[in-house]
Structure 1
Amino acid sequence: MITLYHSPNSRSTRIAGLLKELDALDRVAIEVVTIQREDGSGARDPRNPHPDGKVPLLVHDGNLIWESSAIIQYLAELFPEAGLNVPVGDPRRGAYLSWLAWYAGVVEPVLVLQFLGIDHPGIAKTFRTHDDLKARLAAALSDRPYLLGDRYTAADLLLHSPYAWFGKPGVPEIDAWVERCMDRPGARFAAEFDAKHGA
């Protein structure tokens, strides 16, 4: 049994969208739970087994998988027939894994710190700046529709998600890519699901 613990309009929204892209909605149950929100609303849900009470959390036969990057890689490999992963042996696998890790290790910290108004030279040296992020993405998308070429992958689903949430950055290559990703069946499903199950 596989269950996604999800709270509408949160980081787990992208995982709900992934389940649609993987054609796995009949194989993964979505358990809607509450979480403590940044604005102080909401509360930890006792039904959610995440050690921190957060989402997303995937539970597969009693085993917990947490963090979006890990869950996305796990699900894309568990349901390979959808073609959203890059399998071992494919020459693009290194880049694919690097994009997933870059999101967790660089993109999310940079965007959260910027959102909180925290700035320090050490942050830029360690994680880079938002301008650096945009330059890296724009360069990758300068001659292709998706991060790894002509095919949409789970890396695109993860990396575009903060711009789907906070708004496009005003860089033509990135804005067009975000629009392509937001026009996918998974993104549309997740928006409809959250609208139906939101508070």
Structure 2
Amino acid sequence: MLTLFHSPHSRSSAIVALIEEMGIQDWVEIREVTIPRMDGSGGRDPANPHPEGKVPVLVHDGHVITERAAIILHLTSLFPDSGMAPAVGTPEWGVFAMWLAWYQGVLEPTFIMEAAGVSHPWLTAAVRDHQTAVARLRAALDKGPWILGEHYSAADLLLHAPYAWFPEATPADPVLRDWIDRCLARPARARVLDRDASRMQAA
């Protein structure tokens, strides 16, 4: 049994969109929980099994899986015919896994550091900076039109996420902006955002 714990208009929205993109809605139960939000609203939900009270968290037969990259890898491996990832064990799948790990370990941290005005030689040595991360995205898209080449994948879904949340931080690069706009225009994403907005208004 697969259960996703989701809070509207949060990081877990990307996983709900992935489930829609994969067409596996009948296989994953989605349970809505509250989370502490930056504006002070919400709060930790005792029904949420995430160790830190965050989302997303996927529970598979009692096993708790957190972190979007890990959840994406797990779901796309469980449902290999979804078309959202290369076949497991192929060189292309290794590249796919690399991009998900790079998002968690480099892109999101450098994005947050830049937004927070944080700079330190140790951080730069370990994860570089947002400008360097953007250059790597651009290099991949120069071979595009998607991160893995000719087809949209779960890598695109995850990697464009910071710019979906903070459009003012979108680099002034037409190739990157076009890619982000195409990711934002996915029908699955629009459906999830519409449902999330309705639930936030009803709360």
CA deviations on 1:154-195 (whole Å, 9 max, x unpaired) are 111111111111113222111111111111122112211211
Give SS of 1:46's match: coil
Which residue is 2:189 aligned to? 187
Which residue is 2:72 aligned to? 72
Is the Cα–Cα contact under 8 Å of residues 4 and 28 in structure 1 kept in the other structure?
Answer: yes
Deviating more after overlay: 187-196 vs 44-53: 187-196
Which residue is 1:196 aligned to? 198
Deviating more after overlay: 93-102 vs 107-116: 107-116
Give SS of 2:65's match: strand
2-structure distance, mates of 1:88, 1:58: 20
Q: Which amino acid in 1 is paired with 2:46?
A: P
| Bigger RCO of structures 1 and 2 (CA < 8 A, at least 6 apart) | 1
| RMSD (CA atoms) | 1.3
Which structure's residues are more often helix, by fraction?
Answer: 2
The gaps in structure 2 that reach 5 residues or longer are none
Identical residues among aligned pairs (%): 50
The gaps in structure 1 that reach 5 residues or longer are none
Deviating more after overlay: 80-89 vs 94-103: 80-89
Which residue is 1:38 aligned to? 38
1-structure distance, mates of 2:116, 2:39: 13
Q: Describe how 1:1-199 pairs up with structure 2 within 5 A.
A: 1-167=1-167, 168-198=170-200, 199=203
2-structure distance, mates of 1:137, 1:108: 13
1:39, distance to aligned residue in structure 2 (A): 2.8
CA deviations on 1:73-95 (whole Å, 9 max, x unpaired) are 11111122211112234331221
Q: Which amino acid in 2 is paired with 1:157?
A: L
Is the Cα–Cα contact under 8 Å of residues 160 and 178 in structure 1 kept in the other structure?
Answer: yes
Moved over 6 A (4+): none
TM-score normalised by length of structure 2: 0.93
1:21, distance to aligned residue in structure 2 (A): 0.3
